[in-house]
């Protein structure tokens, strides 16, 4: 795994060493840069990440993952949220220094543009597939049977109108 940060980049807290902070920062960036793969979203990464960037309302790792990493669109939402978070707190008591360092590195790597482009492509592909399905259903060789008031009740075929000209 590539090392973005070292212990010397961070202040230790009463509960975590500077080395643990660096390890978290490196693990999160590695997870992000290798495609947000589910197998790399470990319990340890979830536990720390759930306490950073304002993430407090998820019940478990699966719920967090389903919210933020299920699609290119949700990944873009995650990265945009991460980049906009103000990183509150004193680095001697929180991981705010790690949060800011990850934001700087993500900006340097142009991660926001990359995930937003992937989300836009995904949305376009999904919408074009839906469009094709709807066109196949409603436009191709479709006709609407229109009852003729003079022949109502008879066995003669009703007048037919195509949906499109």
CA distance 98 to 106: 12
> Which residue, 95, 2, 83, 79, is CA-closest to 36?
79
According to DSSP, residue 157 is labeled P
- Taking residue 83's Cβ as centre, other Cβ atoms within 10 Å add up to 15
Q: How confident is the model at residue 154 (pLDDT cuts 50, 70, 90)?
A: low
Report the pLDDT value the prediction gives residue 139, as an integer from 0 to 100.
82
Report the pLDDT value the prediction gives residue 58, as an integer from 0 to 100.
80
In degrees, to the nearest 5, what angle opens at C-alpha 82 toward C-alphas 74 and 119?
30
Handedness of CA 70, 97, 87, 116 (dihedral sign): negative
According to DSSP, residue 25 is labeled H
Q: How confident is the model at residue 85 (pLDDT cuts 50, 70, 90)?
A: very high
Residue predicted with more confidence, 157 or 41:
41
**Percent over 70 (pLDDT), the chain:** 84
**pLDDT average, residue stretch 66-87:** 96
Residue 151, pLDDT > 70, answer no
> Which residue, 1, 11, 3, is CA-closest to 99?
11
According to DSSP, residue 143 is labeled E
pTM for this predicted structure: 0.80
Q: How confident is the model at residue 56 (pLDDT cuts 50, 70, 90)?
A: confident
């Amino acid at each position: 795994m590539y090392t973005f940060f070292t212990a010397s980049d961070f202040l230790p807290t009463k509960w975590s060493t500077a080395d643990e902070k660096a390890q978290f920062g490196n693990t999160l960036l590695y997870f992000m840069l290798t495609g947000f793969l589910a197998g790399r979203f470990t319990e340890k990464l979830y536990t720390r990440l759930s306490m950073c960037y304002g993430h407090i309302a998820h019940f478990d790792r699966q719920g967090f993952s389903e919210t933020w990493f299920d699609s290119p669109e949700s990944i873009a939402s995650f990265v945009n949220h991460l980049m906009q978070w103000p990183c509150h707190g004193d680095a001697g008591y929180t991981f705010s220094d790690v949060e800011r360092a990850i934001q700087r590195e993500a900006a340097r790597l142009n991660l926001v543009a990359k995930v937003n482009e992937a989300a836009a492509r995904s949305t376009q592909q999904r919408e074009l597939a839906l469009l094709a399905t709807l066109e196949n259903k409603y436009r191709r060789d479709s006709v609407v049977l229109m009852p003729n008031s003079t022949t109502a009740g008879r066995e003669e075929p009703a007048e037919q109108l195509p949906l499109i000209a």
